[in-house]
């Protein structure tokens, strides 16, 4: 099961809340990255390891190579 995202607040986000959410998001990413199906995912690995400024372009490029699992998988 994929963990739920930490809650966010639209109004009144003070420093303490923001720091707590930052830590919770870091935990969330670590849990997702260690989750068996996601730990081998090419796009997730690229997203988490890419250090350049144009990550959106790289993800789009990589997604074209990976293809659509629903179109390519045999049931």
Phi and psi, residue 68, nearest 5°: -100, 115
Residue 66: which pLDDT band, with cuts at 50, 70 and 90? low
- For 48, residues 6+ apart whose C-beta sits below 8 A from its C-beta are 29, 33
pLDDT digits (tens, 9 = 90+) for 11-51: 777 899 889 999 999 999 999 899 888 888 888 888 788 77
Q: What is the mean pLDDT of the chain?
A: 79
d(CA 22, CA 29): 11
pLDDT value, residue 75: 39
Q: Where are the domains of the chain?
A: 15-72
Q: Is the pTM of this model over 0.75?
A: no
């Amino acid at each position: 099961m994929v963990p739920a995202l930490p809650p966010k607040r639209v109004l009144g986000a003070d420093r303490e809340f923001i720091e707590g959410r930052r830590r919770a998001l870091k935990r969330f990413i670590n849990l997702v990255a260690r989750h068996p199906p996601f730990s081998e995912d090419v796009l997730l690995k690229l997203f988490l390891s890419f250090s350049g400024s144009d990550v959106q372009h790289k993800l789009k490029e990589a997604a074209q190579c990976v293809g659509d699992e629903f179109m390519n998988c045999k049931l």
